[in-house]
């Protein structure tokens, strides 16, 4: 899966960075949110993508792998501004096709469906509890293989995250976060089709922040 492979590569590179800099400071005081900011989050959840017009609708849903990477810096006490890469991937998800006037049918679709997005975001830490709230706005697209072969144009993508971490060193912490995302992007497989694929996704992730 192209999307999952790309995210895995990013995660591996960032993990090597953390190991190589495990005893280094990101800048500023120990166990304080200042200087360079890097957060890696990965986990599992559920995703949904659907499209509809006057003739009917197609809904695709299932469990998903989820990953979120944020890179930036602290611009004020406990406030980070960052670029964010996020998305989800489903393998062999459930599909439900509804045709107006004829009813509906459902089954398993073969292949992978991925949503990838890139944008800008902010993260605010509530100290000293080390809870954080994070949000990102950007552009995302949908890409499918086999039964779902095709792609969409880039469209609106949103991500919201709330999490908690515990310090495990002077510069980084580990924890959990929950995320909700949404995308809406125009179908690009059939000339003349202007309807949008859209849908939410929910995830529970492990996280590591170097700061």
* DSSP structural state of residue 57: E
Give the CB-side neighbour count of residue 165, counting CA atoms within 13 A: 28
Tell me which residue of 172, 168, 179 sits closest to 205, measured CA to CA: 179
Res 189: pLDDT: 66
CA–CA distance, 5 with 109 (Å, rounded to integer): 21
Residue range 175-200: mean pLDDT, rounded: 86
**What are the structural domains, with CATH classification, of the chain?**
2-210 (2.40.160)
**164 bridge partner residues:** 131, 176
Q: What are phi and psi of 53, to 5 degrees?
A: -150, -165
Mean pLDDT of 193-205: 91
Give the pLDDT confidence of 60-82 residue by residue, as tens digits. Answer: 999 999 999 999 999 999 999 99
Residue 146: CA count within 13 A, CB half-sphere: 12
């Amino acid at each position: 899966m192209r999307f999952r492979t790309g995210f895995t590569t990013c995660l591996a590179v960032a993990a090597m960075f953390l190991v190589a800099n495990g005893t280094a400071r990101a800048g500023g005081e120990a166990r304080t949110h200042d200087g360079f900011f890097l957060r890696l989050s990965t986990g599992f959840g559920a995703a949904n993508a659907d499209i509809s017009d006057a003739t009917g609708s197609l809904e695709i849903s299932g469990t998903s792998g989820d990953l979120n990477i944020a890179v930036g810096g602290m611009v004020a006490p406990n406030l980070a501004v960052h670029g964010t890469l996020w998305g989800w991937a489903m393998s062999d998800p459930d599909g439900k096709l509804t045709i107006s006037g004829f009813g509906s049918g459902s089954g398993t679709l073969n292949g992978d469906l991925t949503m990838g997005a890139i944008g800008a975001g902010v993260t605010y830490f509530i100290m000293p509890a080390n809870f954080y709230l994070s949000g990102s706005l950007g552009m995302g697209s949908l890409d499918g293989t086999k039964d779902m072969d095709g792609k969409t144009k880039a469209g609106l993508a949103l991500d919201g995250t709330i999490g908690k971490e515990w310090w495990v060193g002077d510069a980084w912490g580990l924890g959990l976060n929950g995320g909700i995302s949404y995308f809406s992007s125009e179908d690009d497989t059939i000339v003349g089709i202007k309807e949008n694929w859209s849908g939410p996704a929910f995830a529970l992730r492990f996280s590591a922040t170097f700061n």
